[in-house]
């Protein structure tokens, strides 16, 4: 479990992280989302004990990172945005070296390296020089290094940045697999990325938390209005009269005529309300058959942009 309480990091007068508090419960995969410069890496560096906070505390399974850093770090595997790989080492050599750094007992190292290579599917490249690996494989090796020592908590900073679409899918699948046995905090600036694998999403901007919820709830909560697209046969005046009966409707946007004698439009409700049945009965009362009706869903990407743009202005 990760507990972040009132965390602040100042560089001069600039607060890169500004009173941030959140919890990542054991076994959960939490996405840490924000635009470039939002403070994600700075926060992760404080959680993993790489930099000290200006204010606030980080508890890893109840152990205070600033009071007992060695003990707190024992249970964390960290994949920084740019993994510090030694380009001139072979994959197995590098992982052996990391195992030594992590003070794994000598007789356990070979098996630990073998197991992490198996889990991260890097066995095939174990004897290759790191400099000759593709970006996707380098990321896997970074992940393997983070996993050595079997930490329960994995902190992954933008693990798919710079990868091509097929490599992104592979890393995403790997994270999904790891999520079965780890607590994971994963950062990204791409909403789609995070919603695919996370139980919960924390959105930060300018060092502050602006939202924290499940991907679904976040989408719902962020929908300021819900659109319903309609194609209705009938006179415009009659349709307008019918719609006037539905008090929840905020705005009606008429589009091009869909087909002869039919009106194509989008109606918006002010809140997250489903008025499809009301539309059905109102149109039936005015003898205006509904030819088409469907909800326009707000995507998580839209919600994220709306949030960060609003905050960023």
Ligand X SMILES: Nc1ncnc2c1ncn2[C@@H]1O[C@H](COP(=O)(O)OP(=O)(O)OP(=O)(O)O)[C@@H](O)[C@H]1O
Contact string (CB under 6 A) for ligand X, positions 166-205, x = contact: -----------------------x----------------
In the complex, the smallest distance separating the C-beta of residue 93 from ligand X, rounded to whole angstroms, is 29
Kindly state the smallest distance separating residue 1's Cβ from ligand X, in Å: 23
Q: How far is the CB of 202 from ligand X (least distance, A)?
A: 12
Work out how close the CB of 155 gets to ligand X at its nearest, in angstroms, rounded to a whole number: 12
Phi, psi of 25 (to 5 degrees): -70, 155
281 forms part of the interface with ligand X (CB under 6 A): no
Full strand arrangement of the beta sheet holding 2-11: 14-24, 2-11, 55-60, 63-64
What is the contact mask toward ligand X in residues 41 to 80, using x (rule: CB under 6 A)?
A: xx--------------------------------------
Using the minimum distance from each CB to ligand X, give the nearer residue, 54 or 266: 54
Among 2, 4, 7, 16, interactor with ligand X by CB under 6 A? 16
**Tokens found for residue 287:** 């003898």
Separation of alpha carbons 226 and 87, rounded Å: 52
Query: Quick check: helix, strand or coil at residue 241?
Result: helix
Q: Provide, rounded to whole angstroms, the least separation between the CB of residue 107 and ligand X.
A: 39
Q: Which is nearer to ligand X, 35 or 227 (CB)?
A: 35
180 in Cβ contact with 29 (< 8 Å)? no
Q: Which of 34, 83, 149, 159 touches ligand X by CB under 6 A?
A: 34
Q: At closest approach, how far in Å is the CB of 81 from ligand X?
A: 6
DSSP assignments along 128-165, one per residue? SBGGGS-HHHHHHHHHHHHHTT--SEEEEESTTTT--H
What is the 8-class DSSP label of residue 299? Answer: P
Among 2, 40, 183, 211, binds ligand X (CB under 6 A): 40
Work out whether strand 153-157 and strand 76-79 pair parallel, antiparallel, or are unpaired. parallel
Whole-number Å distance between alpha carbons of 284 and 252: 19
Torsion, Cα of 37, 41, 45, 48 (10° steps): 150
Q: Taking contact as CB under 6 A, which single stretch among the options 35-43, 137-145, 245-253, 288-296 is the one that binds ligand X?
A: 35-43
Report strand pairing: 208-213 vs 200-205.
antiparallel
Residue whose CB is less far from ligand X, 38 or 76: 38
Q: Which residues contact 14 (CB under 8 A, 6 or more apart)?
A: none
Which range of residues in 40-48, 116-124, 140-148, 259-267 is near ligand X by CB under 6 A?
40-48
Interface with ligand X by CB under 6 A: which residues?
Answer: 11, 16, 34, 36-42, 81, 189
């Amino acid at each position: 479990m990760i507990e972040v309480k009132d965390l602040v990091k100042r560089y001069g007068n600039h607060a890169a992280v500004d009173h941030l508090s959140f919890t990542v419960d054991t076994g959960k995969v939490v996405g840490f989302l924000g635009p470039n410069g939002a403070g994600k890496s700075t926060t992760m560096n404080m959680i993993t004990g790489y930099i000290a906070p200006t204010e606030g505390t980080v508890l890893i399974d109840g152990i205070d990172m600033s009071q007992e850093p060695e003990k707190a770090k024992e249970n964390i595997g960290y994949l920084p945005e740019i993994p510090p790989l030694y380009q001139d080492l072979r994959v197995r050599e590098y992982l052996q070296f990391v195992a030594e750094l992590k003070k794994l007992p000598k007789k356990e190292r070979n098996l630990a390296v073998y197991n992490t290579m198996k889990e991260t599917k890097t066995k095939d490249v174990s004897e290759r020089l790191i400099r000759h690996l593709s970006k996707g494989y380098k990321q896997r090796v970074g992940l393997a290094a983070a996993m050595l020592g079997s930490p329960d908590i994995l902190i992954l900073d933008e693990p798919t940045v710079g990868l091509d679409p097929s490599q992104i899918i592979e890393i995403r699948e790997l994270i999904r697999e790891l999520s079965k046995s780890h607590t994971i905090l994963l950062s990204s600036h791409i909403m789609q990325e995070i919603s695919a694998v996370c139980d919960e999403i924390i959105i930060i901007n300018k060092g502050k938390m602006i939202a924290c919820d499940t991907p679904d709830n976040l989408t719902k909560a962020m929908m300021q209005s819900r659109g319903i697209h309609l194609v209705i046969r009938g006179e415009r005046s009659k349709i307008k009269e019918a719609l006037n009966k539905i008090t929840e409707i905020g705005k009606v946007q008429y589009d091009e005529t869909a087909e002869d004698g039919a009106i194509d439009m989008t109606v918006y409700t002010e809140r997250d309300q489903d008025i499809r049945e009301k539309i059905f009965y109102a149109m039936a009362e005015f003898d205006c058959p509904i030819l088409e009706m469907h909800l326009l869903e707000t995507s998580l990407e839209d919600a994220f942009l709306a949030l960060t743009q609003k905050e960023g202005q």
